[in-house]
Structure 1
Amino acid sequence: MHSLRNKYDVLIAGGGIVGCYVAYFLKQQNPAMEVAVIEPDPTYEYASTVRASGGARRLFSCPENIEMSNFSIERIKNFSAEMSVDGVPAPIDWVEQGYLFIVQGSRALQMLEENAQVQQALGADIRMLDREGLKQLFPSMHVDDLDGAAYSPKDGWCDPNSFLQGTRKKTKSLGVEFISDRVSGFTWSSDTIVGATLSSGTTLAADYFVNAAGAWSAQVSAMAGMVLPVSPLRRFEHYFTGHRQIEPLPYVKDLNRLAFRSEGQGFSGGLVNSHEPRGFNFDVDHHYFEEVVWPALAHRFPIAFEGVKCHRTWSGLYEQSELDGNPIIGSWTGNHENFYVVSGFSGHGMMHAPAAGRGVAELINKGRFETIDLSRLGYERVLKHEPYPERGIL
């Protein structure tokens, strides 16, 4: 049902996990603020969050990403209590089983070591492991071709669908309105956007507008005349089981973008093809697991995965930042300055949603970042074509 209100303080395009957290922190910081979220599909059938793996880790090189992880992981760990509604907890099945980045080559190892110094300086528990250390902790792993690893034992994963639904429910309880519609255009006066037109024909006025439309965010920005270098990148997630049980594993990632974690009696993961043609493609290639993922699994964990069964494959979209793989967070300085974007997370949107949402809320309510300075992730770097990339595994 559409609102009878003609004017809001803030309108948010996109009701996924990022849009929900923007709304949540807007109301936390200013309970009197009138906020509406425009979400075209309240079932979230194709939303990136519900098709994600649910991982959250501190293994980044950019200080902003590490600090966002520090904040967000604590919110995820305490989610059940913090996001309870009327005394009913909101469990999201947090599993603190760690993350493990494994590398080959001295240069890659040096990169991990340098990143670890930054991560440790920002309070993260990071342990560097050599081959012997790896073999001792994870005896089923083939390590002869590895030169080392970074291990973050306090990272982990959660159930992404419960994370999204719990955030949405809590946000609605604070008075945020969710409107089932799609933004189809904007109207502006001089340099200020004054209204959003919806597919239903309704036009809603607001003081501020936020683009949190994920893989669809470039389309939303284009309606305001803003060029946003964010594209939908299809990736597959697989649920599979091995033919032999092995020791508990952390979330394992390598330089070739193999990534998987435990899930019930089996595992969930995949291997992202960075060269996948961009576009809104949800088709599933049922040969991909056998041809690409299984060989990588069998090489790294031969005891468990020389025999493996893939039970299910599904596709989802990364909102890929084509500039540098890092999110774009901030206003359109020098143009429609009441238009904010929070997009381009390139696979990290779920884990960084709490921190990114708080950051955008601070910009709107306070006019500046007050907690984590995310200025280097702003839209200005797009205008200047000055990439600010991660060093290491994405």
Structure 2
Amino acid sequence: MSINSADVIIIGGAVMGSSTACQLAQRDDFSGRIIVIEADPAYGICASARSAASIRQQFSSAINIEISLFGIEYLRTIGDRLEANGDKPVIDLHEGGYLFLATPDKLDILETNHTLQTGLGADIRLFDQNGLKARFPWLETSDLAAGCHGVTGEGWFDGYALMQAFRRKARSLSVEYISARATTITKTGTSWSVELSDGRTLSCGVLVNCAGASGGAEISRQAGFDVPVHSRKRFVFTFECRDKLADFPLLIDPNGTYVRPEGSGYICGVSPADENDPDSDDFDVDHSLFEETIWPTLAARVPAFEAIRPGKAWAGHYDMNLFDHNALVGAVPGIDGYYMALGFSGHGLQQSPAVGRGLSELIATGAYQTLDLSPLGPERLTRRKPIIERNVV
């Protein structure tokens, strides 16, 4: 095999690409050469480094719940799973739980979701209004009917540390990382050709698109499969609160605003309305969103948040799948040797252990073994069969 050839090339070396590379290299039944191409080797602008880094089972679709059930077990044991050269990674996993709140008009949705979640093994507790007030005394509950809290298995962690743990383990297993941008891909016969921004050209039999918001859709278009994946900007704001609030979870207000502890303070955000959510590639922060929408919501829901001190804020980009806001994962039908993991719509970090595992199985054996990810298959685009996920945050 010449130096410019590999068995598998993965475009995108953040958490999804590195998880896939790592878990493929860990397999006893795969011994091929793996190359990961990463345009941002400092990982300064990737979604993995700029998100709220959390994990939950409170979804409304079975596949997303099952993915996160796998994910939490993986994160709990990451020190042993991803130990590299005697170094056990630490990601500061804190299982503080999500708390989804519902007004009376949304109570049936909350109860239906709770039944599905607990039926699949998630440790989620349903509280009525009185129960919420007793469990979370700092919470304003007068307009609420109920809430669901993840007792265990949900919370937040260091997303950048998770990404680096996958990367270090992959490199320890001889996965090669190239700092460049994949500019053009073509296929001739059974071989893929990948032209890089530094002038090199690589070839492979298997191409995996994990390029995310910064090029995933364009790479897929060149491969021959258009995807409705767009780069959408999200903001994270920080603040300090004078009062200490015990056992604060990751709180989701009925209007979608979220807040969770981070160090001695809090981080928060909200997704904009569709009509105010254009494609974006800049990192400018709209501070009016915090002042006019987020803070008033939080102060009404948690009265202690009326007196806060705002801190820094930053922006990042989701690879948003506008078809159904769920990931596109697996082999692309009709295009041999082409796989994708795109369109995570903000759920990439928590889904990276399961998706990396699934893609590694699919590439090495032709089938899923640990968890069947076929409901996320990209063929649902051509079949016009969206996954209905009500808990999009």
Instruction: Sort the TM-score into its range (normalised by shorter chain).
Output: over 0.9
What's the counterpart of residue 330 of structure 1? 330
Cα drift, residue 171 of structure 1? 1.2
What's the counterpart of residue 272 of structure 2? 273
Cα drift, residue 283 of structure 1? 0.8
Corresponding position: 1:238 with 2:250:
no
What's the counterpart of residue 312 of structure 2? 312
**What is the identity, as a one-letter code, of the residue corresponding to 2:89?**
A
**% same residue:** 38
**What is the identity, as a one-letter code, of the residue corresponding to 1:144?**
S
Q: 2:115 aligns with which of 99, 104, 117?
A: 117
Corresponding position: 1:301 with 2:302:
yes
For residues 253-297 of structure 1, the C-alpha deviation after alignment (integer angstroms, 9 at most, x for no partner) is 133221111111111121121421112121111222111110011
Q: Which runs of 5+ in 2 are unaligned?
A: none
For residues 74-101 of structure 1, the C-alpha deviation after alignment (integer angstroms, 9 at most, x for no partner) is 1112212322222222111111111111
1:193–1:339 contact (8 Å) kept in structure 2: no
Task: Report the secondary structure of 2:26's partner residue.
Answer: helix
Distance between the aligned counterparts of 1:193 and 1:289, measured in 2?
49
1:186–1:193 contact (8 Å) kept in structure 2: no
Distance between the aligned counterparts of 1:143 and 1:68, measured in 2?
31
* Structure 1 length-normalised TM: 0.95
What's the counterpart of residue 61 of structure 1? 60
Cα drift, residue 73 of structure 1? 1.1
Cα drift, residue 193 of structure 1? 4.7
Distance between the aligned counterparts of 1:286 and 1:301, measured in 2?
21
Distance between the aligned counterparts of 1:143 and 1:193, measured in 2?
60
Distance between the aligned counterparts of 1:114 and 1:213, measured in 2?
35
Between the two proteins, the alignment pairs up a number of residues equal to 388
CA distance change for structure 1 residues 45 and 195 in 2, over 3 Å: closer, same or farther? same
What's the counterpart of residue 77 of structure 2? 78
* Structure 2 length-normalised TM: 0.95
Q: Which runs of 5+ in 1 are unaligned?
A: none
What's the counterpart of residue 374 of structure 1? 373
**What is the identity, as a one-letter code, of the residue corresponding to 2:282?**
N
2:182–2:194 contact (8 Å) kept in structure 1: yes
Q: How does 1:175-186 map to 2 (within 5 A)?
A: 175-186=174-185
For residues 209-230 of structure 1, the C-alpha deviation after alignment (integer angstroms, 9 at most, x for no partner) is 0000111211211221220111
Distance between the aligned counterparts of 2:168 and 2:204, measured in 1?
23
Distance between the aligned counterparts of 2:324 and 2:124, measured in 1?
25
What's the counterpart of residue 354 of structure 2? 355
1:294–1:308 contact (8 Å) kept in structure 2: no
What's the counterpart of residue 193 of structure 2? 195
**What is the identity, as a one-letter code, of the residue corresponding to 1:390?**
E
For residues 98-132 of structure 1, the C-alpha deviation after alignment (integer angstroms, 9 at most, x for no partner) is 111111124x2211211112211211111111111
Distance between the aligned counterparts of 1:259 and 1:382, measured in 2?
30
- RMSD between superposed Cα atoms in Å: 1.5
Q: 2:206 aligns with which of 192, 208, 214?
A: 208
Task: Report the secondary structure of 2:368's partner residue.
Answer: coil
Distance between the aligned counterparts of 2:369 and 2:254, measured in 1?
35
What's the counterpart of residue 102 of structure 2? 103
Task: Report the secondary structure of 1:287's partner residue.
Answer: helix
For residues 122-160 of structure 1, the C-alpha deviation after alignment (integer angstroms, 9 at most, x for no partner) is 111111111111111110100011111111111111011
2:38–2:180 contact (8 Å) kept in structure 1: yes
Distance between the aligned counterparts of 1:146 and 1:7, measured in 2?
59
What's the counterpart of residue 168 of structure 2? 169
Distance between the aligned counterparts of 2:224 and 2:145, measured in 1?
48
**4+ aligned runs moved over 6 Å, structure 1:** none
**What is the identity, as a one-letter code, of the residue corresponding to 1:132?**
N
**What is the identity, as a one-letter code, of the residue corresponding to 1:64?**
I
2:58–2:391 contact (8 Å) kept in structure 1: no
Distance between the aligned counterparts of 2:3 and 2:104, measured in 1?
60
What's the counterpart of residue 13 of structure 1? 11
Task: Report the secondary structure of 2:22's partner residue.
Answer: helix
2:118–2:124 contact (8 Å) kept in structure 1: yes
